Each structure stands twice: as C-alpha cells, then as structure tokens.
Amino acid sequence: MTQPSDADARRAAPPVLVYPDTSLTPPPMDLYRRAAQSAREVARVTVPLRDATAIEVPAGHILRLGCPEGPQVGDLNLFARGDLSERFFSGKTRALHGTHVSVGDRLWSCFPHFRPMATIIADSLDWYGIDADGGSVHDVIGTRCDPYTHRLLSGEDYDRCCHSNLTRALAAHEGLSLAEAEAHVHDVLNVFMCTGFTWDSGRYFMKASPVRAGDHLDLFAEIDLLAVMSACPGGDCGAGHSSDHAACHPLSMTVLRLEPQALKGWDSPQRNGYASGHGA
Ligand SMILES: [Zn+2]
C-alpha cells in the first residue's frame, strides 16, 4: 500500500466535535428531578420474553423501562401518539449526544418534526461509563436484530427477532396489517445493551449487559408518545441472538404521572421551525 508523503500530517488534523456540548439548550434537569418526586404509577405492562408490547405515554409523564427479573436487553421504538410519521431518529440522536445515551440526553424525532420526544432523567446503569473494550450501555448505534439479516447470514428463518416483535406489537396496537406496521418500525434505542466498536477494526460488538433485576431507565415524555419495546431474543446479548438459545427475561414499561403543578415552567416542545422550503 502506498501513501502520500504527508500522510502522518494529514492524520494529525485535530478532531472537531460536530455538535459540541454547548450546541443544545440544556434540558431543565432540576425541574424534572423535582417533578419526579411527585411520580405515581398509573399504568404498567410486561414485555414478555422474545416478544414486544406497546404502551401510550402522555406528555409530561415518565416512562420507566424496567428489568424486573434478570439480565435482559430491550429494543425500543418511539412514535408521536396518533402520528406514526413522527418517530425516533437514532442517527441524529447519536450525532448530537454520542454512541450511547444517559441522563440529560434527549431522544429526537425524525425530520421534518425533529424535536425532543423524551429526555432521560434517571439511569440506574449510569455508573458503568465506558469500559476497557470501549463498550457502554443504551446505544444508538445498533439497528435491531431482524429476520432478513439472519436469513442472509444463516439461510434460516427466525420469527422472534426484535424487528418482528416490534412489527407484531405495533400492528396489534394500531390495528394495522403486518406489512403496514413493518414500514413504521425503525432503528431503536438499545435499552440496557452493552455495545461498542472494536479499537482495531471499528467493528460493532456486543457483550453481556451489566443490567440486573431492579435496574431501570426513566424517560420524561416531552410529547404524547407511543412506546413499543421488544425483549430481545439475545437475552443479555452476551453470546448470540436471533435464536431461542439465550436465557431471556421479561421487561416492564411503567407510566408514572407527575403532579401538573410540579411541571410549572415546562412546555411540550414544538415541531422544528424550518419551513421545509429546501431552496425550491
Ligand atoms: Zn434483538
């Protein structure tokens, strides 16, 4: 392999953060924390193992994603309730906040809506940080396990991948056909999953999640939400997925109501102000 004489100099160009931490208006975390003290449970669903469930979350409520029984990874899709065209935008969330998200980070919706759908206000795994392999938890880099890639790589069919679980649950909740629902299923937030890229080759890896029974991730709903979560057939994703081999556990989704007066000063965000003229 030949390289230019100034190759080292070119590589030495300093990295520039595309979106520095100061780019975004910080979320009102003190307000959220104070308001969360008034939280009381109003709805709760179980996400059965190797399956998915949907739940509606009104704006100004907390969605608690829980791991009640044992190590388990969840794949989360978020929609604006009543408008499936507004959905979670994994790629821009990654660009704005990083490969893994935690307290203070927001989950953004797709163009042209592009506003915070939820803000992470509590994470019992926030102690994990970035491990020696470069891994961390709650990633927005993976897409979801799916039967198409499985078929491509193994020649076999498996119907309990997160993609299929999300499709079935969304179809059932919205009264859609599987084909209609599948078109709305999108890249996920990998809840509790521990992932990264290898240092030497930049390959996507997973490792056994540090999540244990009792762990949870709390999302403050900035807008009315429809949340759909799959309990991944990979279990803690320490070995494989797309099969029934891994030990799996259920997950839970709990909606917590906050006292309206505790939310004084908070407003549900408007859609992005760009008028979509695109210079035409
Ligand atoms: Zn999965």
Domain ranges of the chain: 48-259
Ion ligand 1: residues, CB < 5 A:
145, 162, 232
Answering whether pTM is above 0.75, one says: yes
Distance, in Å, from the CA atom of 32 to the CA atom of 169, rounded to the nearest integer, reads 30
So what's the pLDDT on residue 21? 81
Query: What is the whole-number distance in angstroms between the Cα of residue 239 and the centre of ligand 1?
Result: 12
DSSP code of residue 155: S
User: What is 8-61 written as a DSSP string?
Assistant: HHHHTSPP--SS-GGGSPPP-HHHHHHHHTT-EEEEEEEE-BT-EEEEEE-TT-
Query: What is the whole-number distance in angstroms between the Cα of residue 141 and the centre of ligand 1?
Result: 13
Query: What is the whole-number distance in angstroms between the Cα of residue 232 and the centre of ligand 1?
Result: 4
* Residue 119 tokens, joined: 């803000």
Query: What is the whole-number distance in angstroms between the Cα of residue 158 and the centre of ligand 1?
Result: 12
Query: What is the whole-number distance in angstroms between the Cα of residue 223 and the centre of ligand 1?
Result: 26
Query: What is the whole-number distance in angstroms between the Cα of residue 109 and the centre of ligand 1?
Result: 21
Q: Which mean pLDDT values do the consecutive 10-residue runs of the chain (280 residues) have? A: 95 94 92 97 98 98 98 98 98 97 98 98 98 97 96 97 98 98 98 96 96 98 98 93 88 97 97 97
